[in-house]
Structures are given as structure tokens and as C-alpha cells.
Amino acid sequence: MMQGSIIFRVKPGHDDVVGKEVKDRVFQGEERIRIPPAELAEKIKAIAGSHLLEMEQIGH
């Protein structure tokens, strides 16, 4: 895992649901996007909402 990566832990059974929402709403069908990491993290956090258990930043 790269230093600076962020791990999002969601409630059991919700990882696929949250992942699909991120893919649909943030990536909008693209394989790659250009977005500042902090902005991406905030978008994922908002999408995960009440399913988010924890965010952990690696190497900080």
C-alpha cells in the first residue's frame, strides 16, 4: 500500500454498495479520473455516510 493511501472501512455487507456508488457518482464510467486526493476522500466519505466505520490514512 502506498504511503498517503486512505483505507475506508464500512459496515459488513456494504462495501460493494458503497463501491458501486463511488464508481457511478465519482468515476462516472471512467477507469481513471483527475481529482485531488483530499477531494476524493471527502466524496467517498459522503457517499459511505452512515455505513462508514473508520478512515485510516497510511503513513501519516
The answer as to whether 15 is a domain residue is: yes
CA distance 10 to 16: 10
Question: How many domains does the chain contain in total?
Answer: 1
State how beta strands 52-57 and 6-10 pair: antiparallel
- Would you state the pLDDT for residue 47? 98
The kind and range of the H/E element at 57 are: strand 52-57
* Residue 12, CA atoms < 13 Å, CB-side half-sphere: 0
Q: Identify the domain containing residue 14 by its residue range.
A: 6-57
**pLDDT tens, residue by residue, 35-52:** 998 999 999 999 999 999
Asked if pLDDT for residue 6 goes beyond 80, the answer is: yes
> 1 lies in a domain?
no
Average pLDDT, the chain: 93
